[in-house]
Amino acid sequence: MINPYINRKYIIGGIVIFILFIYFIKLFAIQVIDDKYKLSAENNSKRIVIKHSARGLIFDRNNKLLVYNEAAYDIMIIPNQIENFDTITLSDILGITQNNINKNIIKARNYSARKPSIFLKQVSAKTYANFQEHIHKYKGFFVQPRTLRKYPMKIASNVLGDVGEVNKKTIEKDNYYKSGDYIGLNGIEKFYEKELRGRKGVELFLVDVHNRIKGSFANGKYDTTSVVGKNITATIDANLQLYGEMLMQNKIGSIVAIEPKSGEILAQISSPTFDPNLLVGRVRSENYQKLVTDTLKPLFNRALMAKYPPGSTFKLINALIGLQDKLISKKTHFGCSNGYHAGGLTVGCHSHKSPLNLLESIQHSCNSYYCNVFRTIVENKDYIKHADAYTHWRNLVVSFGLGNKLGSDFYNEISGFVPKASYYDKVHQTENWKALNIISLAIGQGELGITPLQMANMTATIANKGRYYIPHIVKKIEGRKDINPKYTIHHYTKIDEKHFTDVINGMELVVNGGIGSTARIAKIQDITVCGKTGTAENPHGKDHSIFIAFAPKENPEIALVVFIENGGFGSSWAAPIASLMIEKYLTDTIKRTYLEKRMLDGNLLKSE
C-alpha cells in the first residue's frame, strides 16, 4: 500500500523551497539592484541640504542697482537625531537664551521629528563661523546657507516690496514652498515672484557619528542644481524716485510720474515712506509691528490704494466731453459771479475775470463754467432721461481708465469709483434726479474716488491726445525679449483726438499765462509745462493740494500727479513739487534752488 504522506512531503518541501527562492530574489534586489532601499537604509547617515537659489537682482531703468543679495545662514535641526548637549555653551555661541533653545526644539519637533526645519534663522557670518567649530558636539544640527535682500539706495519701499517667510496657507496652495522658505510679499517682489525666486536645488551628504559631512551621498546621483532667479529692470528712475521722496518728507500723499509714450512708471512715491532694509533679517518682525502701528501708515501705498476726489483736475475731462458732444466749443463763454447760482444752490468760486471762454476757464479754474458744462451734458435734449445722459457721460469718463483697475503689474491696485446711474437712483430714491442733484461732479468733488495712479494715467492720456498704455513698473526681465504684450497695446478714449488741442492749450495757460493763472509757480525756463491745479475738499481737515502736469508740450516725456493731503490749494505745495520733479527729470539740475529749499523744508506734519 502506498503511503499518502509521501506526496504531501514533496509538496510541502516544494512550497518551502519556492518561498525561500522568492525571499532570495527580493533580498538580492534590495541589496544589489535597487538603490532606493540602500537610500532608505542609510537614511540616518545622510543629510539633505536644500540649496536655496539666490533671488534675481533688481535694477532701475538706467541699470542702477536697487536690490541685491547678502549671505546669511540658517541653523537647521532634525529632532530625532538630537543627543544630549550643553545648552549653556550653545546659548553663548548663538546668542539666544536657553529657554529659546528649548522652545525652538519643541517647535521643530511639532513640525516633524524626522524632517529638517529651521532652528534659528538668519545668523551672521561671525556666528556661523563660531558654530561650525563646535558643530560636532551637536548631533542633529547643521547649517544651511541662504541669502537676504539688501536695498543700497534705501528708496522705493512700496515699489520694490519685501520678502518674508511663507505661511501655512501659501504652503498648502503651492507645493513648491516648504516651511522656512521665503517669498515676495509686496511690490515687484510679489508680482514677479516666480521670475525672481529661481529654482531650489538639493544636495545629499554622508555624515559621520559626530554629524560631520564626510562626502557626497551616492556620488551626487540624487542631487539637483539650484537655478538663480532672473534679474529684473524696473521702469523707475532711481534719481527721480529719490528726489521725489526727499521732496515729500514731512508730508502725506503721493507722486506718480509716467512716461506717456510707453506707460512706464518713472517714479512712484507714497509718503511717509520707510527704509526697505527695516523689513530684512531677524529684525523684520519687530520693525513690521512698529510700521503697522505707526499712525501715519507708511505701509499703506497711497499711490495705488488711496481714493481721492480729483478736484479741479477733473474739469479737463468735462471739457473734453462737452467738446465731443458738440455742446461747447473753445469760443463758448459762461459768466461767473463768484460762483454758480441756480435757485437756492450756490457752488462758490474765487474772483477772476468774467465771462470766460474754454481756454480761460482752464487757466482760471472757474467752477461756474464747469457747472454750466456739466449741466448741459446731463440735461442734453438728445436723451429722454437724465440718467441716460449721465450713463453716456460716465462711459466717456471711464474710457480714460478711471473707475476701474488699469491692470498694472501691482497686485494691490484698486479700482477707484465713478458712480453708475443706479447709485444715484438709490441715493435719491427716484430715477428722476437732475444735474443739480449731482452738480459736485462738475468740479471733481462728490462721490468720485480716483487713485493717484489713475490721475497720472489720465494726465498721460491727455498728453497723448486720447490714448494710453497701461502703466507698468517692469521694463525688462532677463532672458525675455519682451515684457507682457498687454503693456504694449494702445488704449483709446472715446474722445476724438482733435478736441485735446484746445484743452492742452488751456493747460499751457495755467502755468505760462498771465495774471490769474493758477500755477504760475510751476513755470520752468525753456520748458513748456502744461498743468492743472486741483483743490480737493476734505471733510476731516484742511483741503488736499493736487497738481497734474506734463512736459514738454510737444512730444511729452513725463506726465505726473502730485497729491498732498491737507496741503491746501494746488498751487501751494503740489504744483511746486511737480515742477521740481519735471525739472529734475528733464535737465538733471535744479536752478530754482529757492523753491527747492522751501519744498524740502516744508513740514505739514507739525500739527499732526
Q: According to the model, what pLDDT value does residue 34 have? A: 53
Region for 50 from its dihedrals, namely left if φ exceeds 0, alpha if ψ lies in -120 to 50, beta otherwise: beta
Lowest mean pLDDT among 8-22, 132-146, 420-434: 8-22
Q: According to the model, what pLDDT value does residue 6 have? A: 58
Give the model confidence (pLDDT) of 326-345 as tens digits.
Answer: 999 999 999 999 999 998 89
Give the model confidence (pLDDT) of 491-512 as tens digits.
Answer: 999 999 999 999 999 999 999 9
**DSSP state letters, 505-535:** HHHHHHHHSSTT-TTGGG-BTTB--EEEEEE
CA distances to 272, 450, 548 from 569, in Å? 20, 18, 13
Does domain 238-275+301-601 fall under CATH 3.40.710.10? My reply is: yes
Give the model confidence (pLDDT) of 546-602 as tens digits.
Answer: 999 999 999 999 999 999 999 988 889 999 999 999 999 999 999 999 999 999 999
Q: According to the model, what pLDDT value does residue 597 have? A: 97
CA distance linking residue 477 with residue 54, whole number of Å: 16
Quick one: what percent of the chain has pLDDT higher than 70?
93
Going by pLDDT thresholds of 50, 70 and 90, the confidence category of residue 318 is very high
- Assess whether pLDDT exceeds 80 at residue 207: no
Q: For residue 537, what is the DSSP state?
A: -
CA distance linking residue 313 with residue 278, whole number of Å: 37
Q: According to the model, what pLDDT value does residue 114 have? A: 80
What's the average model confidence in pLDDT over 360-372?
96
Going by pLDDT thresholds of 50, 70 and 90, the confidence category of residue 300 is very high
- Pinpoint the residues of the chain covered by CATH 3.40.710.10: 238-275+301-601
Q: According to the model, what pLDDT value does residue 41 have? A: 44
CA distance linking residue 280 with residue 366, whole number of Å: 50
Residue 171 and residue 177 in contact, taking contact as beta carbons nearer than 8 Å: yes
Residue 493 and residue 396 in contact, taking contact as beta carbons nearer than 8 Å: yes
Residue 459 and residue 561 in contact, taking contact as beta carbons nearer than 8 Å: yes
- Assess whether pLDDT exceeds 60 at residue 316: yes
Residue listed under C-alpha cell 549653556: 88
- Pinpoint the residues of the chain covered by CATH 3.90.1310.10: 46-71+147-234
Cα–Cα nearest to 301, from 284, 282, 325, 276: 276
Q: According to the model, what pLDDT value does residue 9 have? A: 65
Radius of gyration of the chain (CA): 34
Residue listed under C-alpha cell 504652503: 171
Question: Which of 19-23, 138-142, 447-451 shows the highest mean pLDDT?
Answer: 447-451
Q: Which CATH number fits domain 46-71+147-234: 3.40.50.1580, 3.90.1310.10, 3.40.50.1370, 2.70.98.10?
A: 3.90.1310.10
Quick one: what percent of the chain has pLDDT higher than 90?
71
Q: Residue 48, Cα to own-chain centre: how many angstroms?
A: 36
What's the average model confidence in pLDDT over 399-423?
95
CA distance linking residue 546 with residue 522, whole number of Å: 13
Phi–psi pair at 237, nearest 5 degrees: -95, 115
- Assess whether pLDDT exceeds 60 at residue 95: yes
Identify which has the larger pLDDT, 6 or 208: 208
Going by pLDDT thresholds of 50, 70 and 90, the confidence category of residue 39 is very low
Going by pLDDT thresholds of 50, 70 and 90, the confidence category of residue 37 is very low
- Assess whether pLDDT exceeds 80 at residue 242: yes
Type of residue found at 217: F
Q: According to the model, what pLDDT value does residue 71 have? A: 87
3-state per-residue secondary structure call for 169-182: HHHHHCCCCCCCCE
Lowest mean pLDDT among 216-230, 405-419, 456-470: 216-230
CA distance linking residue 174 with residue 301, whole number of Å: 27
